[in-house]
Amino acid sequence: MDNPTFRQAGHRVVDWMADYLETVSARPVTPSVHPGEIARQLPSKPPEDGESLDAILHDLDTILMPGMAHWGHPRWFAYFPANTSPPSILAEMVTATLGAQCMSWATAPAATELEQVMMSWLGEALGLPAGLTGCIQDTASSATLVAILTARDRHADDHHRLTVYTSVEAHSSVQKSYHLAGFAPGQLRLIPTDDHFAMDPGALQQAIRHDRGADFIPAAVVATVGTTSSTAIDPVRSIGEITAREDLWLHVDAAYGGSAAVVPEYRHLLDGLEYADSFVFNPHKWLLVNFDCSAYYVRDVAALHRTFGSSPAYLATQADTKVVNYRDWGIPLGRRFRALKIWFVLRTYGLSGLREMIRRHVALAQEFAGWVDDDPHFLRVAPTPLGLVCFRAILARDADPSAEDRFTRRLLASVNRTGRVHLTSTELAGRAVMRMAIGGRTTTRADVVAAWDLIRERAAQDRRAIASGG
């Protein structure tokens, strides 16, 4: 494809992109395809000779698009938001074109220095405490593994004697990271939570004391600011006082919740962060930066480099002693130019634009929580500190819990099957729960109202069907 052809094709694809963004709200939020239905429509072998862009875009529209779930749909209330935004998309276009490999300063000086400045901008935006230095990781799950590996390596020869801690409500990637770092199940302590699903620091202290008594070496705690199931906020200050006193590594996973700290009135969520050895939050969740883009901050950069640094002869550059080489800050050697989209987004919206968006989402969630609280057919099952509302359906007074859980799950499936909204579920205190995550860039109050109307309508239908034996 020569340059004039690319220019023409690029304009054509931009129109496709703009059309998509303009029309996504009119599409079903999720597709109604069966496993294998897309693959069956594709040839089993790659073509021997090149095909036209016409053919490719035609198949994109007719084969792939009917099988896409639309994360940018205004009535996408599933998981946590993973927003794209126009300026972030523009930056990704430039990043793809430059094709820079940002492993070392010398291989992409401007990318490295923009990343340094953007990590500083984000730290400023969130009001992070002094002494934390940032870099971009792909995801919070990788960043948490990076933190745990660094924490592990503080203890040179005693890996089998280390013990590690997190709450029962922590993200699955925490347990996965502990496993990947080589910890056996017998070295992991899942700390219970309080009634609000936040880690109980007293139980943490007790577990650490018990392990010391049993000749273990307590090594690391992962605390969460905004758990995935219910956005519970672990008490970072209380936990930090323990980890500081006991000399454990404290990693704070604020993948979703961290972004809220751009708003002064939510900055308290990060109270105690000065105790953290490492901290991660995802601009790709709630700050309008395209996935992937996690911001990982660490106190002891030298410790990070001891675990992740490498300097083979074929990567040596004359600048090495004077610069930051981000290849030494994580697992992969190669790195995309991801700082560019942070720059495009922060400059396009400004902090005021991002604050306005987060305040709007939280206000909508508060309003939705109020509707749930006011409706006797539903029960809110967790606090709503941010944009997520956790609730379940009430089947009848004194209903059997397992029947009620089946009813909640049936309701979720029924609501999602309409393709008009998409919500996901979880379990809290052993009960089935619906998660309504409000955080889409284009989500309006009308979308939230439509979701609530649909949920109530389907619940009433399902209730009638059950009453009549259905």
Q: Please, which of residues 288-307 interact with a copy of itself by CB under 8 A?
A: 290-292, 307
The reply to whether 384 sits near a copy of itself by the rule CB under 8 A is no
The reply to whether 62 sits near a copy of itself by the rule CB under 8 A is no
Closest CA to 256 of 437, 131, 391: 437
Q: What x-and-dash track marks residues 65-104 binding a copy of itself by CB under 8 A?
A: xxxxxxxx-----xx--xxxxxxxxx-xxxxxxxxxx---
Q: Which span sits near a copy of itself by CB under 8 A: 9-17, 199-207, 234-242, 265-273?
A: 9-17
Footprint (CB under 8 A) of a copy of itself, residues 129-168:
138-142, 145, 149, 152, 157, 159-160
Instruction: Identify the bridge partners of residue 191 per DSSP, sorted by sequence position.
Output: 167
User: Would you tell me how many other CB atoms lie within 10 Å of the CB of residue 382?
Assistant: 24
Closest CA to 251 of 197, 193, 177, 341: 177
Instruction: Identify the bridge partners of residue 218 per DSSP, sorted by sequence position.
Output: 163
Instruction: Kindly state the smallest distance separating residue 198's Cβ from a copy of itself, in Å.
Output: 17
State the greatest distance between any 2 C-alpha atoms of the chain, in Å, as a whole number: 78
The reply to whether 323 sits near a copy of itself by the rule CB under 8 A is yes
Q: What x-and-dash track marks residues 229-268 binding a copy of itself by CB under 8 A?
A: x---------------------------------------
Contact 366, 134 (CB under 8 A): no
Which two three-digit tokens encode residue 465? 């069907």
The reply to whether 462 sits near a copy of itself by the rule CB under 8 A is no
Q: Which of 190, 244, 303, 315 binds a copy of itself (CB under 8 A)?
A: 315
Distance from C-alpha of 138 to C-alpha of 254, rounded to nearest angstrom: 15
Length of the chain counted residue by residue: 470
Q: Give the position of tokens 């996965």.
A: 176
Instruction: Kindly state the smallest distance separating residue 320's Cβ from a copy of itself, in Å.
Output: 10
**Among residues 135 and 181, whose Cβ is nearest to a copy of itself?**
181
Footprint (CB under 8 A) of a copy of itself, residues 179-208:
179-182, 184
Distance from C-alpha of 128 to C-alpha of 67, rounded to nearest angstrom: 41
Q: Which of 205, 237, 241, 308 binds a copy of itself (CB under 8 A)?
A: 308
Q: Which of 54, 427, 453, 457 binds a copy of itself (CB under 8 A)?
A: 427
Which two three-digit tokens encode residue 155? 């203890």
Angle between helices 236-246 and 201-213 (to 10 degrees): 20
Instruction: Kindly state the smallest distance separating residue 413's Cβ from a copy of itself, in Å.
Output: 7
